[in-house]
Chains A and B, each alone.
Chain A
Amino acid sequence: MEQKFLLKKAREVRRGICRMVNRAQQGHIGGALSETDYLVALYYHIMKVDPARPDWKDRDRFILSKGHCVEPLYYILADKGFFPREMLDTFSLPGSPLIGHTNREVPGIEMNTGALGHGLSGACGMALAAQKDQADWKVFCLLGDGELAEGSVWEAAMFAGHYHLDRLYLAIDRNRLQISGPTEELMSQEPLAQRFQSFGFDVAECDGNDSAAIIAALEASFHRPGKPHLLILNTLKGKGVSFMEGQTSWHHGRITQEELERALYDLREEED
């Protein structure tokens, strides 16, 4: 039952992304589509958040370090009731708080990001604050794989390992593509799991385009205290839209009306 709900929700979010990018005539759609299932797992199953109290002290926190892929997060926050759904229509329009990177003026957004390599340090600071207070809340943070070339990511990883920040749940959207091409050609990231293990992380890996698998992997990691956690999400950039899947050129793009229709067809509601 839940698996069906998650699949349906992920398709709905992806349709929402396509519409936003079509309307705005801009957006980082490839990475937005690859990370969608992770965000669906977080916001519809894993995280304790309350749209009526976005500043609730004991909420779980999510930081989107790859802040350029903000479309699914906006969609989900609106869907959860953090702000009116109509606001989604203003994505990237002049004067709208829904800018092309995370913006704390939007209810539910925890940290302004955009320049890469910043989110993990912020997440470490939050996880340390929770650890100092012996609080129960968790910090989730999503990085892109291209972003891993930023040195500050490794400063933060070292910090997380040193302080055994086990309230920190890092995830990497391992879609293996960045704006100029394949990550392994531009700046190789392997052996990714071992790199983080050597920094003191508890590392797991799963199909990052399967919300149920993500939930299972995260819940399993909740029972492994003492270390910060990393979940490597093996994903497909452009996931769900046939002509975007695995295409570097769809890192950022405009969607024509015709392309939108094809995308919506790919993402159509399936019969029960």
Chain B
Amino acid sequence: MKETIACRKAFSQTLLELAREDRDLYAVTSDARGSVTLNDFAKQLPDQLIECGIAEQNEIGVAAGMALAGKKVFVCAPAPFLSARGYEQLKLDVAYNRANVKVCGVSGGVSYGTLGTSHHALQDIASTRSLEGLTVLIPSDGAQTRWLTRWMARTEGPVYMRMGRNPVPGLYGPDTEFQVGKAMELKAGQDLSILAAGETVSIALEAARLLEARGISARILDLFSIKPLDTEAILKAARETWAILTVEEHCVYGGLGGMVAEVVSQSYPVPMTIMGLPDEHTYPGESPDVFRHYNLTPEGIAKQAQELFGKKQRQIAVMAKFFQQQEKRLTRITED
């Protein structure tokens, strides 16, 4: 049974279960218990909830201090503020100190919709994955969020996890086992691969169904583990499908598309298309409106996939011609 639930809710429910079993586990927040859905936690385990007021820098610094004194600390607040206002604390207090702090940002991407750019986190993949020693996760559904939350509680070391605000369809059964650093293949395919993370995974999966009906077989990879990245699965997708489309709820600079391109371009270059939010004032609207505006919809993705597939075929034709010429030339040289 796959559960439709907001990742932040799956997170807070799991965190409460874990905290009941472990008195050294703390949730640290910055006037965000509503946004994170921590009200049950606050009611049931008030001693394990640390309220910092609206002060993300201090919130992350305090969490690091607690962790250095042996506590397991989950910082729980909106991703736009944690990842930007608290960035130096994330970089130094958490990552550089190797503090056992899990910085868990909810309402990432454009979750906050019409609240606008101040409340959007569209830069956090780029900024967090470049921090040495920090694990970066973006779960795509409730079951995965629960598994990752439990994994974080039992694993020493700093993590940044970004979650969305809205309910997302279940993609995995409750007993699915994951591995941080291993992408999940949600659908097999040979014609091209669509790589996504977070809310865009389920949209990509729908796009793959549309493509199937149009005779194109798309492989779907869920790159929930942004760092460590499953470079093997990416290169396998490049080798076996020869075309990669990335879809992210993030600026197209330095995000999911960028990190996949880093891998592909250096080891196995194949045609790629990067879909995400362009470098412009974000279109005002609720997140489905924003997604629609930037074609981050099943149809929009399918269309880009078809174009990419066409590009791949043209490129293969060009290469075939090139190889033919090379072969002739080589034969001529050998005959001479």
A residues with CB within 8 A of B: 57, 61, 104, 110-115, 117-118, 120-130, 132, 151-152, 155-156, 158-159, 162
Tell whether A128 pairs with B62 under 8 Å between CB atoms, given A121-B57, A122-B68, A159-B55: yes
B58-74 Cβ-contact flags toward A at 8 Å (1 or 0):
10111111111111010
A156 contacts which chain B residues (CB < 8 A)? Answer: 58, 61-62
Would B97 and A111 count as touching, CB distance under 8 A?
Answer: yes
A111 contacts which chain B residues (CB < 8 A)? Answer: 64-65, 68, 93, 97
A128 contacts which chain B residues (CB < 8 A)? Answer: 50, 62, 65-66
A130 contacts which chain B residues (CB < 8 A)? Answer: 69
A110 contacts which chain B residues (CB < 8 A)? Answer: 68
B47 contacts which chain A residues (CB < 8 A)? Answer: 132
B96 contacts which chain A residues (CB < 8 A)? Answer: 112
Q: Which 9 A-B residue pairs are closest in the complex by CB-CB distance?
A: A125-B65, A121-B61, A155-B58, A129-B69, A122-B65, A155-B55, A125-B62, A125-B66, A152-B57
| Chief secondary structure at chain B's binding surface | helix
B53 contacts which chain A residues (CB < 8 A)? Answer: 155, 158-159, 162
Would B69 and A126 count as touching, CB distance under 8 A?
Answer: yes
| Given A112-B92, A125-B67, A158-B55, 17 other A-B residues pairs in contact with their CB atoms under 8 A | A111-B65, A112-B96, A114-B92, A118-B92, A121-B89, A125-B61, A126-B65, A129-B66, A129-B69, A129-B71, A132-B47, A151-B57, A152-B61, A155-B52, A155-B53, A158-B53, A159-B62
A115 contacts which chain B residues (CB < 8 A)? Answer: 88, 92
A151 contacts which chain B residues (CB < 8 A)? Answer: 57
* CB under 8 Å from chain A, chain B span 76-120: 88-89, 92-93, 96-98
Would B70 and A125 count as touching, CB distance under 8 A?
Answer: no
Whole-angstrom CA separation of A130 from B93 in the bound complex: 19
Would A126 and B66 count as touching, CB distance under 8 A?
Answer: yes
B57 contacts which chain A residues (CB < 8 A)? Answer: 117, 121, 151-152, 155
CB-nearest residue of chain A to B51 = A162
Whole-angstrom CA separation of A130 from B65 in the bound complex: 11
Would A118 and B89 count as touching, CB distance under 8 A?
Answer: yes
A125 contacts which chain B residues (CB < 8 A)? Answer: 61-69, 73
Would A112 and B97 count as touching, CB distance under 8 A?
Answer: yes
Whole-angstrom CA separation of A118 from B88 in the bound complex: 9
CB-nearest residue of chain A to B56 = A155
* CB under 8 Å from chain A, chain B span 145-200: none
Would A104 and B97 count as touching, CB distance under 8 A?
Answer: yes
CB-nearest residue of chain A to B97 = A112
Closest chain-A Cβ to B252's Cβ sits at a distance in Å of 30
| Chief secondary structure at chain A's binding surface | helix
B71 contacts which chain A residues (CB < 8 A)? Answer: 129, 132
Whole-angstrom CA separation of A128 from B62 in the bound complex: 8
B92 contacts which chain A residues (CB < 8 A)? Answer: 112-115, 118
Whole-angstrom CA separation of A125 from B93 in the bound complex: 11
Closest chain-A Cβ to B179's Cβ sits at a distance in Å of 29
Give which listed residue, B61, B67, B70, B97, contacts A124 with CB less than 8 A: B61
| 6 A-B pairs whose Cβ atoms sit less than 8 Å apart in the complex | A118-B61, A125-B66, A129-B66, A151-B57, A152-B57, A158-B58
Tell whether A159 pairs with B65 under 8 Å between CB atoms, given A114-B92, A128-B50, A132-B47: no
Would A121 and B58 count as touching, CB distance under 8 A?
Answer: yes
Would B55 and A122 count as touching, CB distance under 8 A?
Answer: no
A117 contacts which chain B residues (CB < 8 A)? Answer: 57
Would A124 and B62 count as touching, CB distance under 8 A?
Answer: yes
Whole-angstrom CA separation of A113 from B97 in the bound complex: 9
CB-nearest residue of chain A to B60 = A121
Closest chain-A Cβ to B12's Cβ sits at a distance in Å of 21
Closest chain-A Cβ to B57's Cβ sits at a distance in Å of 4
Closest chain-A Cβ to B263's Cβ sits at a distance in Å of 30
Q: Which of B73, B88, B93 has the most CB of A within 10 A?
A: B93
Closest chain-A Cβ to B81's Cβ sits at a distance in Å of 13
A152 contacts which chain B residues (CB < 8 A)? Answer: 57-58, 61, 89
Would B70 and A57 count as touching, CB distance under 8 A?
Answer: yes
B67 contacts which chain A residues (CB < 8 A)? Answer: 125
B68 contacts which chain A residues (CB < 8 A)? Answer: 110-111, 122, 125-126
A113 contacts which chain B residues (CB < 8 A)? Answer: 92
A112 contacts which chain B residues (CB < 8 A)? Answer: 92, 96-97
Whole-angstrom CA separation of A120 from B93 in the bound complex: 11
Q: Which of A118, A124, A132 has the most CB of B within 10 A?
A: A118
Whole-angstrom CA separation of A29 from B211 in the bound complex: 67
CB-nearest residue of chain A to B54 = A155
CB-nearest residue of chain B to A121 = B61
Q: Which of B58, B89, B96 has the most CB of A within 10 A?
A: B58
Whole-angstrom CA separation of A129 from B88 in the bound complex: 22
Whole-angstrom CA separation of A152 from B65 in the bound complex: 14
Closest chain-B Cβ to A113's Cβ sits at a distance in Å of 8
Whole-angstrom CA separation of A104 from B263 in the bound complex: 33
Whole-angstrom CA separation of A112 from B93 in the bound complex: 7
Whole-angstrom CA separation of A132 from B69 in the bound complex: 11
Q: Which of A114, A120, A121, A162 has the most CB of B within 10 A?
A: A121
Whole-angstrom CA separation of A151 from B93 in the bound complex: 16
Closest chain-B Cβ to A51's Cβ sits at a distance in Å of 19
B97 contacts which chain A residues (CB < 8 A)? Answer: 104, 111-112, 122
Would B93 and A118 count as touching, CB distance under 8 A?
Answer: yes
Whole-angstrom CA separation of A117 from B58 in the bound complex: 9
Whole-angstrom CA separation of A126 from B63 in the bound complex: 9
Whole-angstrom CA separation of A117 from B57 in the bound complex: 10
